[in-house]
Amino acid sequence: MKTDSIFYSIFQEFPFIFFALLGIPADATNQYQFTSQEVKQLAFRLDGLFLPIVADSQLPFYIVEVQFQPDPNLYYRLFAELFIYLKQYQPPHPWQLVVIYPNRQTERECDIHFQEMLALPKITRIYLDELTQPETASLPIKLLKLVIEPENTASDLAIDLARQAETEIPNIAVRESFINLLETIIVYKLPQKTREEVAAMFNLSDLKKTRFYQDVFAEGQAEAQAQLEAQLQAQLQAQAEVKKREKAVMLKLFNRGLVTEDIATLFELPVAEVAAMIAESQQEQSEQN
């Protein structure tokens, strides 16, 4: 599972965590729906999108980008997606762009083109390793910090988070859903541990011995896991569809006389990868005929 998928799963399950990052009260969550949306031109896709669900033109919509690998093309793609999205959908709300990095070293600013843009109040860049002590004391922010926690201390932090959740989250079902998410993150960070070993880490209190946990939560845990896997499968299917459309566009451009190098420049991909995708598309078209 990629790191950005973990974050999008967190925002899907607990959207108030995103607003906690921005210092916005948790009740703002009730005014938004977290989703993803395709921008049709060149098959762009906005993976993280908080759209208002109330008729208030003052509420902004948020485009969320999680970037854990250096990418010199990120802002070229992101601003292209933003403005094509605005042209295509003309949403009745102002926009806000939020980019989440593990640290400043990961960011590639491209000052020559984007220095003024990145200084706009509409754009927020968050570096998880620079969050202040009051911010990192809160349960939602600690959960995000767990994703970048070193492997040798991740287990201890996860257990501390589970203990804190038992104190701060009174709703048993929500608390157990939160612990499920902790387990998922630890499985992702520590693939050498089995899910049974990870689950054993969170056997913290008498809660696990209750009839509720034994009879209800065991089923809820499997259901929550199935939902998460379904979400991830849907993301993979969406990515496959995007790649399929990209290949079709590449083949069409190639058939019209555009050379592979120019197509690679247009899609910001290596020439070899574009050539392989065109060849695959030609093969698929040949098999269909």
pLDDT, tens digit (0-9, with 9 covering 90-100), for 106-158:
999 888 899 999 999 999 999 998 887 666 678 888 888 888 888 888 888 88
For the ranges 106-115, 134-143, 165-174, 196-205, the lowest mean pLDDT is seen at 196-205
pLDDT of residue 184: 79
User: pLDDT category, 203, cuts 50, 70, 90?
Assistant: low
User: pLDDT category, 277, cuts 50, 70, 90?
Assistant: confident
Residues of the chain with pLDDT > 70, as a percent, come to 84
pLDDT of residue 237: 81
pLDDT for 260 beyond 60: yes
pTM for the whole thing?
Answer: 0.62
Residues of the chain with pLDDT > 90, as a percent, come to 22
pLDDT of residue 1: 45
pLDDT of residue 26: 85
pLDDT for 195 beyond 80: no
For the ranges 2-16, 79-93, 181-195, the lowest mean pLDDT is seen at 181-195
**Range 278-282 average pLDDT:** 85
pLDDT of residue 58: 93
Separation of alpha carbons 91 and 51, rounded Å: 9
pLDDT for 170 beyond 80: yes
**Range 82-87 average pLDDT:** 90
Cβ atoms of 75 and 267 within 8 Å: the answer is no
**Range 257-278 average pLDDT:** 84
**Range 11-33 average pLDDT:** 89
pLDDT for 39 beyond 70: no
User: pLDDT category, 90, cuts 50, 70, 90?
Assistant: very high
For the ranges 39-53, 191-205, 270-284, the lowest mean pLDDT is seen at 191-205
More confident call, 51 vs 271: 51
